[in-house]
């Protein structure tokens, strides 16, 4: 974006990590190209920039750093909309046979528009495509083009399964337990081995797109994504760590989302999943792990010591019954925590403002003297914390000179309807009440992408229409008899994990307890 832009807001939260102290009343922000040139009180900056017509006005606007969705999967169409009912993760993942046949560009572009409308300017996509290698690379390119077309910033975590997809058990051993007719149908419908990349192919794809991002996708950076310990060998994890170190690239992965993943790690390695990741070289300040619901106290210490980021996905974990992350313990030990929507918010609306409140309230304890998360702290996790997870610390997450011009502006008109006490902390009130409908303006890298609630670059109706057409074209192929197959398969999936729910577990968060 050429030239300069002057933004005026009733309030501006320049640094969420400082809480109310990082907030400026009757504020001005100057954008020069794609960078923030100046921030301060209107009375101080107006004389220097009075040649510019201000965007906004003195009343009603709250400017905050652009929000960071630190874990999602690029799904524009929700899983509920294709017939995937919420269920425990181990039963839910096989149902993705209902989520096939879509146009990657259309689906990702729609997801990007929904996030922008919610005030999200940057996301970390945990991507998983299918082989062979040319098909996989086509999917990655289509996704990156979608973010570029939307104007959104993305840390794109190119993902790979190496082993065990249907259950965490050895594939052949588990299949041998099934009736012959069902075994044949599983092989036909869930033939992951046929579409899975080799490790060499996966790393080749990463390096290919890592090299291209600087010139072809300037708002994107590519990360490595070994998906999760239950889907990877230690040899694969070590190669990922070596590749990341060579390129100074980020690593994004799933960690201990469910009780069954904890049991799996202990049975396979006689060790914690966190220990396995650490000895493989994966933990560190360039790594973010999504979920971390079933970590132990020692795990928390190791995550803190290695400066690994944890991304909490409160909505998704509640929807799939996975449990609650020990957020208070993580924060007490100094672990950086970011917020992710996981393409599965509680109200299926990709509303980051609601998610921030859910995160803040879910971890309140009734003990007197407890300190609860403030709206500013929740915002800090969704901005400053997310920036670190995306390896963009010092570039986004705050509205300070020298940072990239990524900001979200809320219209506080609805928020303050009725009566608001003059002594109320209005920015905190807005963060406690605002939702997607209150997002007025979104700016990414200095470009105004949403103004007055309307997109400036895209036609939202055309994006939605293209998405519908792409899904309708594959409707018969996608659904057919797949739902009946899943009904037959489910009892065998349940049986695969029989005896894995050990009563010996002492969960970190009491809500995770079987009692």
Q: Tens digits of per-residue pLDDT, 432-486?
A: 999 999 999 999 999 999 999 999 999 999 999 999 998 887 765 556 688 899 9
- Alpha-helical (H) ranges within 176-294 are 180-189, 192-195, 199-216, 234-247, 259-269, 273-279
Domain assignment present for residue 45? The answer is yes
Do 222 and 126 share a structural domain? yes
Q: Does 319 score more than 50 pLDDT? A: yes
Do 234 and 368 share a structural domain? yes
Do 190 and 80 share a structural domain? yes
Out of 321, 355, 389, a domain closes at 389
Do 281 and 419 share a structural domain? no
Do 99 and 17 share a structural domain? no
Do 280 and 136 share a structural domain? yes
Do 84 and 42 share a structural domain? no
Domain assignment present for residue 468? The answer is no
Q: Are 73 and 290 in contact (CB under 8 A)?
A: no
Task: Please name the residues in contact with 70: beta carbons below 8 A apart, sequence gap of 6 or more.
Answer: 123, 124, 288, 290, 309, 311, 338, 339, 340, 385, 386, 389, 390
DSSP codes joined into one string, 442-478: EEETTEEEEETTEESS--HHHHHHHHHHHHHTTHHHH
In this prediction, residue 511 carries a pLDDT of 63
Total domain count for the chain? 2
- Quote the domain boundaries for residue 429: 4-64+406-445
CATH of residue 43's domain is 2.30.40.10
CA pair distance 84, 227, nearest whole angstrom? 21
For the chain, helix (H) and strand (E) counts, in that order, are: 21, 17
Domain assignment present for residue 317? The answer is yes
Do 385 and 320 share a structural domain? yes
Do 142 and 71 share a structural domain? yes
Q: Quick check: pTM over 0.75? A: yes
Do 54 and 115 share a structural domain? no
CATH of residue 270's domain is 3.20.20.140
Do 424 and 384 share a structural domain? no
288-312 pLDDT, tens digit each:
999 999 999 999 999 999 999 999 9
192-246 pLDDT, tens digit each:
777 889 999 999 999 999 999 989 999 999 999 999 999 999 999 999 999 999 9
Domain assignment present for residue 488? The answer is no
Do 165 and 224 share a structural domain? yes
CA pair distance 383, 386, nearest whole angstrom? 5
Q: Is the dihedral of CA 122, 124, 130, 135 positive or negative?
A: positive
Q: Are 336 and 310 in contact (CB under 8 A)?
A: yes
């Amino acid at each position: 974006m050429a030239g300069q832009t002057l933004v005026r807001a009733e309030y501006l939260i320049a640094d969420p990590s400082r809480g109310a102290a990082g907030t400026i009343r009757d504020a001005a922000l100057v954008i020069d190209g794609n960078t923030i040139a100046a921030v301060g009180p209107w009375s101080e900056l107006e004389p220097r920039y009075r040649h510019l017509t201000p965007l906004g006005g003195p009343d009603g606007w709250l400017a905050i750093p652009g929000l960071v969705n630190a874990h999602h999967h690029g799904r524009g169409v929700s899983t509920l909309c294709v017939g995937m009912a919420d269920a425990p993760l181990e039963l839910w993942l096989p149902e993705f046979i209902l989520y096939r046949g879509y146009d990657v560009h259309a689906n990702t572009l729609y997801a990007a528009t929904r996030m922008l409308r919610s005030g999200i300017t940057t996301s970390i996509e945990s991507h998983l495509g299918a082989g062979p290698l040319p098909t996989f690379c086509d999917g990655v390119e289509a996704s990156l083009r979608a973010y570029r077309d939307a104007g959104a910033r993305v840390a794109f975590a190119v993902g790979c399964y190496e082993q065990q997809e249907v259950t965490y058990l050895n594939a052949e051993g588990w299949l041998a337990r099934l009736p012959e007719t069902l075994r044949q149908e599983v092989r036909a419908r869930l033939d992951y081995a046929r579409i899975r990349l080799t490790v060499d192919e996966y790393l080749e794809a990463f390096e290919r797109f890592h090299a291209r991002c600087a010139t072809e996708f300037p708002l994107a950076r590519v990360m490595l994504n070994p998906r999760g310990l239950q889907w990877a060998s230690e040899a694969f994890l070590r190669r990922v760590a070596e590749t990341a170190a060579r390129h100074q690239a980020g690593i994004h992965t799933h960690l201990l989302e469910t009780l069954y993943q904890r049991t799996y790690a202990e049975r396979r390695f006689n060790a914690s999943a966190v220990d396995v990741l650490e000895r493989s070289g994966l933990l560190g300040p360039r790594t973010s792990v999504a979920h971390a619901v079933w970590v132990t106290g020692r795990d928390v210490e190791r995550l803190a010591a290695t400066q690994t980021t944890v991304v909490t996905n409160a909505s998704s974990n509640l929807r799939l019954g996975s449990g609650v992350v020990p957020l208070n313990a993580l924060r007490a030990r100094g672990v950086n925590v970011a917020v992710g929507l996981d393409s599965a918010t509680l109200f299926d609306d990709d509303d980051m403002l609601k998610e921030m409140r859910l995160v803040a309230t879910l971890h309140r304890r009734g003990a007197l003297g407890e300190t609860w998360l403030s709206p500013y702290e929740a915002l800090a996790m969704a901005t400053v914390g997310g920036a670190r997870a995306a390896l963009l610390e010092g570039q986004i997450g705050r509205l300070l000179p020298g940072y990239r011009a990524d900001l979200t502006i809320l219209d506080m008109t609805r928020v303050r309807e009725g009566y608001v006490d003059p002594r109320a902390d209005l920015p905190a009130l807005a963060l406690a009440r605002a939702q997607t409908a209150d997002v007025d303006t979104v700016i990414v890298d200095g470009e105004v992408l949403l103004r007055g609630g309307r997109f400036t670059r895209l036609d939202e109706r055309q994006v939605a229409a293209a998405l519908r057409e792409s899904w309708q074209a594959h409707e018969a192929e996608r659904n057919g008899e797949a739902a009946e197959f899943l009904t037959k398969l489910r009892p065998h999936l349940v049986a695969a994990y029989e005896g894995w729910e050990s009563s010996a577990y002492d969960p970190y968060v009491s809500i995770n307890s079987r009692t």
